[in-house]
Amino acid sequence: MSNKYLEVTNLKKSFGGIKAVDVESLNLNRNELTSIIGPNGAGKTTFFDLISGFQDSDEGKVYLNNKNISKSQPYAIARLGMIRTFQLTKVFDRMTVLENMMFSASTVNNDSFLKSLAKLPSQKTTEKKIRDKSFEIMKELNIDHMANSYAREMSGGQKKLLELGRSIINNPSVLLLDEPLAGVNPKLAEEILQIILNLAGKGISILMVEHNIEAVMKISERVIVLAEGKVIADSTPENIRTDQKVIEAYLGSENE
Ligand SMILES: Nc1ncnc2c1ncn2[C@@H]1O[C@H](COP(=O)(O)OP(=O)(O)OP(=O)(O)O)[C@@H](O)[C@H]1O
Ligand SMILES: [Mg+2]
């Protein structure tokens, strides 16, 4: 398999007169922890929406593992192993934490998830397998003590963890994380960063949108900077820190 998992060409999306996304070319490499940064309104979430099928692009192509997914629906893309989280978490407040986990597993059911179940001891029912897998992940995320609490009882940070758990249970090969640290207290943010590093260590390709620049610089191998829909820089964290175009993009947005 090619080293690239995602190949994007000429991807565009406008809202009225605003070019939200205008990306000429972007390739993402397997096992390279990559972050996207950029000022508010730069097009980061819209970019995620386009590559994960939650919005249709105006033009352009997206390939996931050499498969054209430009017109694919979100569920189809999730089944191919690319799963996203949302800037505003989409956990079900009126379900318990465990139910949230189990519900996600039953809705995606991609091939690799079924294969991972097949590896578990036989004669258990599928539901029992999903329950066990849910607990295994909740333990990893340190939310297992809340299994039977309603999701609405969780703090914002814990909801971020639950949303991450709901993604992981579907055995993604690619995880798109939209601001996994937003609104999270510093201690939990450290924990989430460690979890992200562990997932990357397990071979999951991670693309993260995040405003916490220190966190981004700490864990990313590659940083892509979006401004007004365009990629204005794409390099190592060290180079990005001192890139004049990047500094100007951020200063410009602060002056507005
Ligand atoms: N559904 C929509 N309708 C109209 N305009 C939109 C819509 N979604 C996004 N936009 C506009 O597109 C641009 C990019 O928005 P987007 O949410 O992708 O930015 P972002 O980089 O994720 O910002 P933030 O860091 O604040 O989350 C903004 O100008 C935004 O106002
Ligand atoms: Mg956003």
- The pick from 35, 46, 179 for probing ligand 1's pocket by mutation, whose C-beta has the most ligand atoms within 8 angstroms, reads 46
Q: Ligand 1 centre from 179 Cα, in Å?
A: 14
Closest CA to 110 of 44, 173, 28, 185: 173
Average pLDDT of every residue of the chain: 91
Residue nearest to ligand 1 atom 17, measured at CA = 45
Has residue 63 got a pLDDT over 60?
A: yes
Would strands 174-178 and 82-84 be described as parallel, antiparallel, or unpaired? parallel
Give the full edge-to-edge strand order of the sheet including 205-209. 82-84, 174-178, 205-209, 34-37, 222-227, 230-235
Label residue 104 by pLDDT band (50, 70, 90): confident
Instruction: List, for residues 125-155, the tens digit of each pLDDT value.
Output: 778 888 999 999 999 999 999 999 999 999 9
CATH 3.40.50.12780 matches 4-255: no
Question: Of 80-94, 98-112, 118-132, where does the model show the most confidence?
Answer: 80-94
Element (H, E) at 19: strand 18-29
Other C-beta atoms closer than 10 Å to the C-beta of 191 total: 15
Has residue 196 got a pLDDT over 50?
A: yes
Ligand closest to Cα of 56 equals 1
Instruction: List, for residues 231-253, the tens digit of each pLDDT value.
Output: 999 999 999 999 999 999 887 77
Residue nearest to ligand 1 atom 16, measured at CA = 43
Q: Ligand 1 centre from 40 Cα, in Å?
A: 8
pTM of the model: 0.91
List the chain domain ranges: 4-255
pLDDT of 123 reads 43
Q: Ligand 1 centre from 61 Cα, in Å?
A: 20
**Cβ burial 115-144 (10 Å sphere, 16+ → b, else e):** eebeeeeeeeeeeebbbebbeebbebbebb
